């Protein structure tokens, strides 16, 4: 099941509600752009690739829901929707990337309002299909780094739920398992929203992949014991020098892995790479509501004193020196990332993908 699906007849975006997993599998319907804004802000949909594509459909919905025959007015309405969507999650560059693509398809003279609506919808659908193709190619490259018998320590959630389908780091693990490699995954809880224990563990259960949930603070213990062969995670933004912004706790995990000589592998699509910023210090870090930290309960009772303060950064920056490889749909890059990432993105681009021009879907995973 895809994380998000589009109903072309009803013009409705359907999303898996990731707030209620693993207890329930429920869908949320977004009928306008404000619904998509709320879905991203409330983390009904999450994961950098997924929120980028969701934002694209949000802009398409803005076009379909505004009753005007004036193309210039429609462009303004769609652009305003894009501005609102852009503000929902500041760290993930995929939002800017997707919104930029949607704005580009409107930058064409002589289009009627109705043709603009169809172009916006078609571009959002194209992005969704491309996301699946990109994830499948990343999985091929990422799986090649996984050996039979590996124990992999995984942070946050990077599977189908973080994308349209397949996912990034967990997509590579999923393919390696499908190839017959014997694997075991140590799943960080990923506090405070517990994307690891709620979402990654749920996905691994669906795939039949062996795993154990561990508290985030236990990662160093297992790394020091020599129980882990790989550390894998995704990215919300990658700077030009290879610094990675990812879910809070990634930096500490990478430090512990480096101290114990365990390879650290980041798997992320090219849309997460921001060559416009030189290093991670330029990446804005989202701070979320302290209630996500303070409202935890045990046996129905709060775990913090009444009135206690909290800080809740959602992401941290892992310096490129701690990362052994960055995997994109274009291949495996290694240090020096300021050269290899630019080369990979410069030599390869989706516009050069024959599948996109022919209308065929390139999917190496069958």
Q: What is the pLDDT of residues 102-135, one digit of tens each?
A: 999 999 888 999 999 999 999 999 999 999 999 9
Other C-beta atoms lying within 10 Å of the C-beta of residue 239 = 27
Contact 187, 211 (CB under 8 A): yes
Residue count of the chain: 366
Q: Minimal CA–CA distance to 151: which of 216, 220, 230, 206?
A: 230
- Look at residue 348 in the predicted model and tell me its pLDDT: 59
Distance of CA 154 to the CA centre of its chain: 14
For residue 357, pLDDT over 70 is answered with no
Number of separate helices (H) and strands (E) present in the chain: 13, 16
Contact 18, 45 (CB under 8 A): yes
Q: What is the DSSP letter of 225?
A: T
CA dihedral 366, 10, 41, 158 (to 10 degrees): 0
For residue 349, pLDDT over 60 is answered with no
The catalytic site residues sit at 236
Task: State the Rg of the chain over Cα.
Answer: 20
Convert the pLDDT of each residue in 125-181 to its tens digit: 999 999 999 999 999 999 999 999 999 999 999 999 999 999 999 999 999 999 999
Query: Cα–Cα distances in Å, from 159 out to 19, 167, 233, 243, 268?
Result: 16, 4, 10, 22, 11
Contact 151, 263 (CB under 8 A): no
* Angstrom distance (rounded) from CA 101 to CA 125: 12
The β-bridge relationship of strands 27-30 and 151-154 is unpaired
The residues facing 30 across adjacent strands are 13
Cite the DSSP H helix spans in 166-214: 169-178, 195, 201-207
The β-bridge relationship of strands 237-239 and 273-274 is parallel
Q: Minimal CA–CA distance to 292: which of 41, 24, 95, 54?
A: 41
Convert the pLDDT of each residue in 198-236 to its tens digit: 999 999 999 999 999 999 999 999 999 999 999 999 999
């Amino acid at each position: 099941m895809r994380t998000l699906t589009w109903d072309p007849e009803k013009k409705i975006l359907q999303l898996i509600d990731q707030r209620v997993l693993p207890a329930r599998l429920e869908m949320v319907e977004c009928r306008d752009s404000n619904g998509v804004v709320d879905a991203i802000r409330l983390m009904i949909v999450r994961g950098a690739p997924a929120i980028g594509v969701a934002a694209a459909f949000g802009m398409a919905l803005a076009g379909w829901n505004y009753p005007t025959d004036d193309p210039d007015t429609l462009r303004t309405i769609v652009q305003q929707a894009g501005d609102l969507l852009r503000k929902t999650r500041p760290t993930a560059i995929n939002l800017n990337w997707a919104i930029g693509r949607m704005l580009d398809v409107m930058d064409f003279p002589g289009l009627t309002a109705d043709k603009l609506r169809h172009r916006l919808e078609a571009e959002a659908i194209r992005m969704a299909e491309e996301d699946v193709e990109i994830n499948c190619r990343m999985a091929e490259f990422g799986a090649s780094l996984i050996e039979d018998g590996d124990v992999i320590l995984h942070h946050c959630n990077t599977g189908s739920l973080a994308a349209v389908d397949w996912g990034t780091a967990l997509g590579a693990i999923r393919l390696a398992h499908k190839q017959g490699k014997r694997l075991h995954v140590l799943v960080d809880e990923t506090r405070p929203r517990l994307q690891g224990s709620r979402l990654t563990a749920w996905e691994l259960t669906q795939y039949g992949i062996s795993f154990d949930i561990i508290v985030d603070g236990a990662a160093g213990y297992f790394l020091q014991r020599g129980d882990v062969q790989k550390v894998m995670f995704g990215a919300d933004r990658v700077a030009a020098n290879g610094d990675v912004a990812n879910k809070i706790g990634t930096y500490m995990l990478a430090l512990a892995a480096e101290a114990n000589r365990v390879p650290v592998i980041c798997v992320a699509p090219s849309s997460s790479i921001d060559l416009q910023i030189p290093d991670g210090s330029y990446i804005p870090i989202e701070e979320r509501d302290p209630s996500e930290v303070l409202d935890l309960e045990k046996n129905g009772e709060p775990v913090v004193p009444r009135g206690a303060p909290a800080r809740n950064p959602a992401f941290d920056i892992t310096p490129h020196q701690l990362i052994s490889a960055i995997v994109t749909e274009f291949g495996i890059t290694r240090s020096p990332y300021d050269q290899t990432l630019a080369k990979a993105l410069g030599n390869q681009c989706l516009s050069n993908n024959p599948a996109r021009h022919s209308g065929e879907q390139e999917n190496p995973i069958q």
